[in-house]
Homo-oligomer: A and B are copies of this chain.
């Protein structure tokens, strides 16, 4: 048995604007997916998951890719999870030159699913790392990130960001600009994440921003301003200026709101965090619904969000310095 974990991520700055060539800064958070792999004698792939869990419901399935798993949640979610594992193993077979490799794969994750926290990227990174090692092949982090990206690209019909998989593989804070991803310095960040239990329609949200940007010069300027915030944010990260990061996150959130990608529950969580004394708060990811990320070195934001109607889950999450981690 080999077993690896990989972290989820939040966007500190720059989501949506990154689509138009602006830089963005995602960072890995200390919430992980763990994937254990045991080679089989045949080419079969079996996936076990005891806790692809989300506060309020649990995915439990054990099946092959041929049959339907025994589940009590939306089939599409399980299909999606199975799809990522299938494709990750396809990458493993290719990179190891073992097209007939079969595995027992066990997945655990404490990253809420479908919340925009990069749970699929974390599962893919951990799965590829564990399965290649099981076959005696050690990938470099860069190669692991690339294979994980190819996996997401295949599953998501050619629409994937390098940022999620790179961030999950390398850990820490990452600067993304176009196809260039690189690790950047960052201080300890007292991140608090609030989740409304929902998810926006990423495709529709991205299309909405595009429409605004095509129609209005001030919307294009707003996208460019997000890029400026990101550049300012890189300086604040390098300086370890957490208060400045908070101010920039607040501003970034306002510009995302202007671009139509915030939502009632997201704004409600952002305000609860700010009124609890957070240094800053913003939505993270595609928006519409899903998660916010706040900076608060005190327990106040977590407490405020815990009692906020409409906030389904809240947890503190330090910056994950380490990306993929070999557990056994």
Query: Taking beta carbons and an 8 Å cutoff, which residues of A are in contact with B?
Result: 212, 216-219, 221-222, 224-226, 228-229, 232, 250-260, 262-264, 267-268, 271-272, 274-275
A258 touches B264 (CB 8 A): no
Cα–Cα, bound, A191→B256 (Å): 25
Cα–Cα, bound, A250→B254 (Å): 12
Closest Cβ–Cβ distance, residue A214 to chain B (whole Å)? 13
Beta-carbon nearest neighbor of A230 in chain B: B218
Beta-carbon nearest neighbor of A212 in chain B: B251
Which residues from chain B contact A263 at a C-beta distance below 8 Å?
A: 271
Beta-carbon nearest neighbor of A265 in chain B: B271
Which residues from chain B contact A232 at a C-beta distance below 8 Å?
A: 216, 218
Closest Cβ–Cβ distance, residue A102 to chain B (whole Å)? 50
Q: A221 and B219 in contact (CB under 8 A), knowing A264-B275, A267-B267?
A: no
Looking at chain A's contact residues, the main secondary structure is helix
Closest Cβ–Cβ distance, residue A310 to chain B (whole Å)? 11
What would 4 more interface pairs be, CB under 8 Å, given A222-B222, A267-B267?
Answer: A216-B228, A225-B225, A250-B258, A254-B254
Cα–Cα, bound, A268→B275 (Å): 14
B216 touches A221 (CB 8 A): no
B218 touches A225 (CB 8 A): yes
Beta-carbon nearest neighbor of A255 in chain B: B258
B255 touches A222 (CB 8 A): yes
Beta-carbon nearest neighbor of A258 in chain B: B254
A251 touches B216 (CB 8 A): yes
Which residues from chain B contact A229 at a C-beta distance below 8 Å?
A: 216, 218
Beta-carbon nearest neighbor of A216 in chain B: B232
Beta-carbon nearest neighbor of A219 in chain B: B251
B212 touches A221 (CB 8 A): no
B264 touches A257 (CB 8 A): no
Q: Which of B222, B260, B268 contacts A225 (CB 8 A)?
A: B222
Which residues from chain B contact A218 at a C-beta distance below 8 Å?
A: 225-226, 228-229, 232, 251
Cα–Cα, bound, A252→B218 (Å): 10
Which residues from chain B contact A256 at a C-beta distance below 8 Å?
A: 254
Beta-carbon nearest neighbor of A248 in chain B: B216
Q: Which of B212, B224, B258, B275 contacts A257 (CB 8 A)?
A: B258
Most B CB contacts (10 A, CB to CB) among A219, A258, A268, A275 go to A258
Which residues from chain B contact A251 at a C-beta distance below 8 Å?
A: 212, 216, 218-219, 258, 260
